[in-house]
Each structure stands twice: as structure tokens, then as C-alpha cells.
Amino acid sequence: MIRTVATTPYLGQKPGTSGLRKKVKVFQQPNYAENFVQAVFDVVERPAGSTLVLGGDGRYHNRTVIQQAIRMAAANGYARVIVGQGGILSTPAASNVIRKYGASGGLILSASHNPGGPDEDFGIKYNIANGGPAPEGVTEAIYARTQTIDRWLTVDAPDVDLDTVGASRVGDLTVDVIDAVADYAELMESLFDFNAIRENVAAGFEMAFDAMSAVTGPYAVEILERRLGFPQGTVRNGVPLEDFGGHHPDPNMVHARELFETMFGPDAPDFGAASDGDGDRNLIVGRNRFITPSDSLAMLAANAHLAPGYAAGLKGIARSMPTSAAADRVADALGLPCFETPTGWKFFGTLLDAGKATICGEESAGTGSDHVREKDGLWAVLLWLNVLAVRRISVDALAREHWARFGRNYYARHDYEAIAKDKADA
């Protein structure tokens, strides 16, 4: 039976470029998460009998909100919820699941690369049927609804077993708990030459991958160690933790310091990489060579044809406004269109849906392609591995060849973390 719970609006539930992000204690207030989820259900497009995808990066409060969202989906007329095992779905994997199973959309519970834990951050964002972040028209409608909301709907039902793959019922709703890794790994195998990478590994190619105790751990272990043959232990910090081990899961020189020390140390492997809290960002570093995200986009675009999924060539390259023009030089040399967008992956989604671009990237360590509608950290790592395997070249040598051919772009990026919102806005 559907139960209606009376509520009143909370101020400030305005989604940003990646949904609503606040401290866990804010989300733990009575009706806070429920108001936002109900606002989403009230305004988004969804035909009768729709499927909702649900999952998150495993941070603290993830499971609590998933259980409540399942009950609310049952009360709001969804026919099916697909949830990642353990409540886990990386952001790119969630995009893939939405697209693969024809869902009307999905709720991704993440605060991306922000710290996790009882005193840290939590977030909810809605992705639409193309698998990408909700466009501004949708997020504005959600925000408007949060300002007038007076009730949310639920059903009385016990918690779902999130840890066992299989189907169960909540009211009239079917809940399918799926292997969070299998669909994504299958997609990656369709894009990249796993045989070439395996041969390179067998020939002695070594790498280190830091999953930062975040969501990509299970994906990286399955793909890198089990399917590609890298030795056990190649993936560091591979178990997702609710507080990311007390670390800040942002793949940069500060927060992935141990990886940098490894890659610039005396016994450095050939290749180093990391991903962030929800799996959509990447860090690429070779032996004694850091590759900036802007350069990584350009270098991948110049070599993408070496991967089977991109052998037919690129339709175009897109970059965000703050990202260096290195990709523009590649596009010009290859005779490809190049697009500059505002910050926010949703703007790339418009180009991808229109068939105008194949590869996109931004200076904040996000790179991706038309295989999903989100940036994808592990995808970027695998494309690098594919290119290095085919060319049998080091990261440093590839970078130097690239700069010799296309020129080298320089830019500065300054990060300011944990600033009060009013001062940040100013």
C-alpha cells in the first residue's frame, strides 16, 4: 500500500553540474534525501512501467538512501529498479546500464572525488535515458519542485538484500540486483584489443593502478588482473570503503602521492594510473612522466584508431573551455571538427548524441567517448594500455613524439579546496 508522508521544503536543494552535494549530516535530516528524490520522480520524463537504475560509489550513507529510494520508486509507479550489487555502480557503469537496459533514467549516489564518511560529503544526481547527466532544463525543474514539495510517497517494505545477485519484489516493483562489473567489463572488451594488451603484459609490461579505496576497485581487479593478466596486487587500494580509507579520492599529484612516488622512483613500472571516488576521472603517469589531462585527451585522440572500437576514425573531438588547445591541434592535423563547450559533461552529451564528436575531455581529469554519456576513468586507462601495447612504446616516448609533431601546450590550473561557498562564489 502506498503511504504519503507530509513534508516541507528545505532551502538550497539546487543541483549543480553533478547533482546535489552536501555533508552527510545534511542528508541525514528527516525528509531531506526523500524530498529531493521525490522531486526527481515528480518532474522527470518516464513512461508507464519505466525502469530506474540505482547505485553509487559506496560512500557512507549510500546503502541507507538506496533502500529508501527503492521503496519510493515502488510507490511512484516504476516497474523495475536495477541496482548494482552491494549498492555499487561507478558513474560510467551506471550510464552503460541505463543505456543497455533501456531505463528511463538513474539515480547515482556520489559526491565524486570529494571525501566520504560520517562527517564528509554525500550526493545524488539524476541521469536521463541517454545515460548522461540531466540537462539544465531538468535540473531547474527538479530544483523548482524542491521549493514547493509537500509530500513524498513510499511503501512499507523490508530492506532489499543488496549483496546477492537476483530478483526480488517490493510491492509491485521488481528489484534486480546485478553484477555491477560484468556489463561494464563486456563493454570494454568490445572497444579494446585485450589480446594485444595481454601480449604486452606477457612480454613484461608492468603497471600500478590506485583505485583509492573507491568504486573502481572491483572493476580494475576484474579487468586488469583477471582478464588482462596483470599480476595480483597491480590494483592498489582495490576495496571500496565508506570513507575511502580516510583519503581524498581525487587522482592528482597531492592525493595520489604514493603512486607518483612509485612512478618517479628507482623501480618504477612502465605505466601508472588512478581513478576517483565514482570512477569517472583518471590520472595517467608513465615512468618519470606525468601526462596532464589536457595532453592525455590530445594523445588519445591522435592514437584512438589503434583500438578496434575506434578503428573507423573519429567523428570529432570536444573539450571544455578551461582545457588546453592541445586537442585542437590534433583535430586540425587530422582534419576533424573540434568543439569547445562550457564546463559540465552534459554539454558533451549533446555533441555525442548528435554524432558530431567521438572523444571528449576536460582539464579536471575527465576523459570519455561515445560509448557512454559520462566521463570514464577506466576507459581512458584501457585506451592508453591499448595504444602502448600496439605501438610498443613508453609513455615518455609517446609524449615526446606527440609534442614534436603537434607542438606542446602549456597551461596552469589552481585548485582551492574546502572553501566556504560564499567566498568561492565571490
Instruction: Report the alpha-carbon distance of residue 420 to residue 410 in Å, rounded.
Output: 30
Residue showing cell 508507464: 48
CA 363, 367, 372, 374 torsion: positive or negative?
negative
Cα separation values, 246 from 23, 218, 260, 365, Å:
15, 19, 19, 22
Please enumerate in sequence order all residues whose Cβ is within 8 A of that of 354, keeping only pairs 6 or more positions apart, or say none: none
> What does the DSSP 8-state code read for residue 230?
P
One-letter amino acid of 252: N
Instruction: Report the alpha-carbon distance of residue 185 to residue 341 in Å, rounded.
Output: 29
Instruction: Report the alpha-carbon distance of residue 304 to residue 385 in Å, rounded.
Output: 11
From its phi and psi, is residue 112 left (phi > 0), alpha (psi between -120 and 50) or beta? left
**C-alpha cell of residue 400:** 615526446
* Cross-strand pairs, 55: 108
Instruction: Report the alpha-carbon distance of residue 126 to residue 72 in Å, rounded.
Output: 15
> What does the DSSP 8-state code read for residue 225?
I
Please enumerate in sequence order all residues whose Cβ is within 8 A of that of 193, keeping only pairs 6 or more positions apart, or say none: 306, 307, 308, 386, 389, 390
From the list 241, 245, 207, the residue with the least C-alpha distance to 224 is 207
From the list 285, 287, 288, 312, the residue with the least C-alpha distance to 369 is 312
* Cross-strand pairs, 285: 272, 290
Residue showing cell 564518511: 117
Active-site residue among 90, 110, 112, 320? 112
Please enumerate in sequence order all residues whose Cβ is within 8 A of that of 184, keeping only pairs 6 or more positions apart, or say none: 90, 92, 93, 96, 219, 378
Whole-angstrom distance between the N-terminal and C-terminal Cα of the chain? 49
Give yes or no: 112 in active site: yes
Instruction: Report the alpha-carbon distance of residue 35 to residue 215 in Å, rounded.
Output: 26
State the catalytic residues.
Answer: 112
